[in-house]
Amino acid sequence: WKAVVFDMGGVLFPPLFFGFRKYEWENGISWGVFSGLFKEDDSNFAFGRAMKGEITLSQFYQECQDECERYAKQKNFKLPKNFSIRKMFNSGFGTGTIMQNVLTAINCLRNNGYKVALLTNNWADDTERRFFVAAAMLKFRRRFDYIFESSRIGMAKPDAEIYQYVLKEMNVRASETIFLDDSPKNCSGAEKLGIKSIIVKNTFQALNDLSKLVNIEFDDNAVPYCDIKGFAHGYVVNQKGVKIHFVEQGQGPAVIFCHGWPECWYSWRHQISYVAELGYRAIALDQRGFGESSCPHDVEEYSTEKIVSDLLFLMDTLGLPTATLVGHDWGGMIVWACAQHYPERVRAVAGVNTPFVPTDPKMGTLARITRRPGAYDYQLYFQKEGVAEAELERNIRRTFLCLFRGASNEDKLNLSGKVNTSNVRERGGFLVGFPDNPRRSIHLSEEELQFYVEQFTRTGFRGGLNWYRNLDNNWRWNCRVANRKILQPSLMVTATYDKVLTPELSLRMNDWVPNLTRKELDCGHWTQLERGGDFIINLMIYLKTELLNLPSFISPNELNQVLGDWLGKLHKSAMSSQTSIKANFGRCLISETVLGISPTIWLYPLEVLGISGYEAFAVCLFSPVLVGIGPIRRLVFSANGLTALRILMILALTSYEAPTTLSRLIAFSIGTGIAMLASVGSFYAKSTVDRSAAFWGKVLGFLALHASRVYFKSLIPALAYTSARNVVIAFGIIAAIDRRLTMTADSSVDETIKHAKKPFWPLVSLGYGSLLYLIHWIFSEASLVTRWGVRPYPDHGPQPYPWGALVLVTLTIGVLLSSKFTPVTSISLSWLGMAMLWWVIGCIAFTGLYLTHTYVAFAAGLLLGAYAFSIWPYLFDLLTLCPPARTYGLSLVTYLCFVLYTVWTIAFNFVPGGEYTRETYHYKIIAISACIGLTLIHYKYPQVSSSILSKSGNSYSHTAFPSLTGNDGKRSPWRSFNKDVHKGLILILIVSLIGFGTRYNPTAYERPALKEPKRFTAMIWNIRYGFDNNGWQSFDRIVDMINNTESDFVGLMECDCARPFVGNNDLGVFLGEKLGMYVDYGPATRDHTWGLAYARISRGIISDTEVQTAKFEIPSTAKYKDNTEVTHDRNQVPVDARYPTRFGEVFVGHYSGMDHHYHMSTPKYFYRRGSK
CB atoms within 10 A of CB 368: 17
Distances (CA, A) of 1079 to 802, 851, 1044, 1132: 14, 23, 19, 35
Asked whether the CA dihedral 494, 496, 497, 501 is positive or negative, the reply is positive
- Give the pLDDT confidence score for residue 306 in this predicted structure: 94
User: Going edge to edge, which strands form the sheet with 254-258?
Assistant: 232-237, 243-249, 281-285, 254-258, 323-328, 346-352, 490-495, 516-521
Half-sphere exposure in the Cβ direction for 1041 (13 Å, CA): 25
Per DSSP, the residues of 623-657 read: GGGGGGSHHHHHHHTSHHHHHHHHHHHHHGGGGGG
Say whether pLDDT at 573 is over 80.
Answer: no
Q: What is the pTM of this model?
A: 0.54
E strands, 496-615, in order: 516-521
Cα–Cα distance measured from residue 615 to residue 618, given in angstroms and rounded to the nearest whole number: 6
| 777-794 exposure pattern, b = at least 16 Cβ within 10 A, e = fewer | bbbbbbbbbbbbbbbeee
Q: What is the largest CA-CA distance in the chain?
A: 140
Per DSSP, the residues of 989-1031 read: HHHHHHHHHHHSS--SSPPPPPSSTTEEEEEEEE-GGGB-TTS
Consecutive H or E run containing 1165: strand 1165-1167
Helix axis angle, 330-341 to 471-479, nearest 10° = 20
**Residue 1136 corresponds to which amino acid?**
D
Distances (CA, A) of 714 to 74, 304, 709, 773: 89, 65, 5, 19
The per-residue pLDDT for range 344-392, each reduced to its tens digit, is 899 899 999 999 999 999 999 999 999 989 889 999 999 999 999 999 9
Any residues with CB less than 8 A from the CB of 251 and at least 6 apart, and which?
279, 281
- Give the pLDDT confidence score for residue 511 in this predicted structure: 87
Q: How far is CA 339 from the centre of its chain?
A: 27
468 given a catalytic annotation: yes
Cα–Cα distance measured from residue 779 to residue 810, given in angstroms and rounded to the nearest whole number: 11
The per-residue pLDDT for range 389-410, each reduced to its tens digit, is 999 999 999 999 999 988 888 8
What angle (nearest 5°) sits at the alpha carbon of residue 199, between those of residues 196 and 203?
115
Alpha helical stretches, state H, 1034-1127: 1035-1045, 1067-1075
As a whole-number percent, the residues of the chain with pLDDT over 70 amount to 77
Q: Which residue in 329, 511, 738, 746 is the catalytic one?
A: 329
Tell me which DSSP letter residue 538 carries.
S
Consecutive H or E run containing 762: helix 761-779
Cα–Cα distance measured from residue 677 to residue 671, given in angstroms and rounded to the nearest whole number: 10
Cα–Cα distance measured from residue 178 to residue 185, given in angstroms and rounded to the nearest whole number: 16
Tell me which DSSP letter residue 523 carries.
S
- Give the pLDDT confidence score for residue 540 in this predicted structure: 29
The strand pair at 254-258 and 323-328 is best described as: parallel
Half-sphere exposure in the Cβ direction for 394 (13 Å, CA): 11
CB atoms within 10 A of CB 303: 21
The whole-number average pLDDT for the span 92-118 is: 80
The per-residue pLDDT for range 801-816, each reduced to its tens digit, is 788 889 999 999 988 8
CB atoms within 10 A of CB 271: 26
> Cβ-count burial of 1004 within 10 angstroms (0-12 exposed, 13-18 middle, 19+ buried)?
exposed
Consecutive H or E run containing 197: strand 196-199
CB 667 within 8 A of CB 652: yes
Cα–Cα distance measured from residue 491 to residue 513, given in angstroms and rounded to the nearest whole number: 9
Distances (CA, A) of 685 to 81, 696, 745: 53, 14, 12
329 given a catalytic annotation: yes
760 — pLDDT class (breaks 50, 70, 90): confident
- Give the pLDDT confidence score for residue 809 in this predicted structure: 92
- Give the pLDDT confidence score for residue 799 in this predicted structure: 80
Say whether pLDDT at 959 is over 70.
Answer: no
CB 903 within 8 A of CB 1061: yes
385: left (phi over 0), alpha (psi -120 to 50) or beta: beta
List phi, psi (to 5°) of 241. Answer: 85, 10
E strands, 344-467, in order: 346-352
CB 767 within 8 A of CB 932: yes
Say whether pLDDT at 1075 is over 60.
Answer: yes
User: Going edge to edge, which strands form the sheet with 146-149?
Assistant: 146-149, 115-120, 3-6, 177-181, 196-199
The whole-number average pLDDT for the span 433-439 is: 90
Cα–Cα distance measured from residue 221 to residue 553, given in angstroms and rounded to the nearest whole number: 10
Proportion of the chain in helix, strand, coil states, percent, rounded to 5 = 50, 10, 40
As a whole-number percent, the residues of the chain with pLDDT over 90 amount to 25
Say whether pLDDT at 1103 is over 60.
Answer: no
Q: How far is CA 446 from the centre of its chain?
A: 44
Range in 173-187, 362-376, 1076-1090 with the lowest mean pLDDT: 1076-1090
> Cβ-count burial of 22 within 10 angstroms (0-12 exposed, 13-18 middle, 19+ buried)?
middle
Say whether pLDDT at 201 is over 90.
Answer: no
- Give the pLDDT confidence score for residue 970 in this predicted structure: 34
- Give the pLDDT confidence score for residue 902 in this predicted structure: 78
- Give the pLDDT confidence score for residue 1132 in this predicted structure: 78
Q: Which residue in 270, 328, 341, 525 is the catalytic one?
A: 525
245 given a catalytic annotation: no
Gap between the terminal Cα atoms of the chain: 127
612: left (phi over 0), alpha (psi -120 to 50) or beta: alpha
Say whether pLDDT at 296 is over 90.
Answer: yes
- Give the pLDDT confidence score for residue 848 in this predicted structure: 92
Say whether pLDDT at 196 is over 70.
Answer: yes
Helix axis angle, 921-937 to 831-851, nearest 10° = 170
943 — pLDDT class (breaks 50, 70, 90): very low
Any residues with CB less than 8 A from the CB of 726 and at least 6 apart, and which?
none
The per-residue pLDDT for range 719-743, each reduced to its tens digit, is 777 888 888 888 888 888 888 887 7
Say whether pLDDT at 1070 is over 70.
Answer: yes
Cα–Cα distance measured from residue 653 to residue 718, given in angstroms and rounded to the nearest whole number: 8
751 — pLDDT class (breaks 50, 70, 90): very low
- Give the pLDDT confidence score for residue 569 in this predicted structure: 58
CB 1048 within 8 A of CB 1010: yes
Q: Which residue in 274, 302, 376, 468 is the catalytic one?
A: 468
What angle (nearest 5°) sits at the alpha carbon of residue 728, between those of residues 724 and 729?
115
Cα–Cα distance measured from residue 126 to residue 146, given in angstroms and rounded to the nearest whole number: 23
- Give the pLDDT confidence score for residue 603 in this predicted structure: 37
Average model confidence (pLDDT) across the chain: 78
The per-residue pLDDT for range 1112-1140, each reduced to its tens digit, is 888 877 777 777 778 877 777 777 777 77
611 — pLDDT class (breaks 50, 70, 90): very low
938 — pLDDT class (breaks 50, 70, 90): confident
Distances (CA, A) of 203 to 2, 185, 197, 220: 21, 18, 14, 14
CB atoms within 10 A of CB 539: 16
